[in-house]
Structure formats: C-alpha cells, structure tokens
Copies of this chain bind each other. A is one copy, B any other.
C-alpha cells in the first residue's frame, strides 16, 4: 500500500497545494497545528515543544517534546512517518523562515529519502523533491527555475530530460553546484537518479528575473 503522510512544519505559513491528493496521515509540528486549522485540516498527531505557539487544548493526540532535544520537531514527525511505513511524505511550510531551519528541513528530507521515502517539501517560493532512486516527473511551471543538488557526497546516474540543460548518466557531488537554474523546454521534465540523495528544487523567479 502506498501510504502518504503530510507533515505541517512551523516555518512560514503557506497554502495547501491544489494537487496534494489524498493523505493517509497528517502530523502538525508546533505552530504548524495553527496552520493546519486554517487549512481546514484536523491533524492525527501534534508534536512540538511549543516554544513558538501555546500548547493546544484539543482532543487530538499531542506529543509534547522537551525543549532540550536532539531532533527538531519536523524530524520527530519524519520518524513517525517512517515508522508508519509511509512511501511518500509531503512537508509543508518548511521554507521561508530562518536558513538554519530550512537546511534542517532539507536534511530531514534526506533522512527520509535514505529510507526509500520520496519527499516533497513546500514553502514560500520554493518547492523541492528529495529522493534516492527512480524517476520523478515535474510538470512545466512558467516563471520557475529547476535546479539539481546532490545532498549526499555523490549522486550517480543522474539523467535530466525535457530541459534546456539535459544530460544522461551524470555524476553530481555535494561540493559542486552543477545544474543550478535549469528551465523546462517541454511539458514535463523527467529526472532520474540511480544512487545517492538527489534534491530537485523549483524556485519562483523574482519579477524581472530571467534565466
């Protein structure tokens, strides 16, 4: 069964994407439960140390975390998604705040991808996919760029089709930003990786910006 988990993180608030589809489980992190309410969603679980929002008074199960902990709230939610056997996770409201939180959320994506879970991270002017094998298809988005990054030391067998800078069987490394600011040339870009953790980032171009 293809189980899907939605994690609502506590970064900058963003709307529920129209193409989200059915989710089997919703976990809200810290003030993410306020966002969930405004999205009209009832989380199955709320986790957090509630340093950025008051502890919710609700019938929804709440896992109260100590303020001093190794994991971020979003990482705890990711552990739950992995334990539930999810094959796909969507992490919402995970960008647009402090850069350290953004990086932590990308690394949480890498942690899930290492476990074979395909991750979609959404927030502000950025949408990312993190995966460790297989092919993902990205429908054309006018006014957005498409960039590839290795989140592991190496990504092997990277193939890019349907873009201005296509390539076959490329190797990307985490210390060489090849593949920044690519752009669609067809209706769908198809990106494959055979090993390593690949990040595909779609960024909204600013007004007047071109590639």
Q: Is A57 an interface residue (CB 8 A)?
A: no
A48 to B152, CA, bound (A): 28
Q: Is B149 touching A203 in the complex (CB atoms < 8 A)? A: no
Q: Is A194 an interface residue (CB 8 A)?
A: no
In the complex formed, the residue of B with least CB distance to A102 is B99
Number of copies: 2
Chain A interface, >50% SS class: loop
Give chain B nearest CB distance to A117 CB in angstroms: 12
Give chain B nearest CB distance to A150 CB in angstroms: 8
Interface residues of A in 41-99 (CB under 8 A from B): 51-52, 68, 70-72, 75, 95, 97-99
Interface set of A (CB-CB < 8 Å, partner B): 51-52, 68, 70-72, 75, 95, 97-105, 107-108, 110-111, 113-114, 125-126, 145, 147, 149, 151-153, 164-165, 174-178, 180-181, 197, 199, 201, 203-206, 209-211
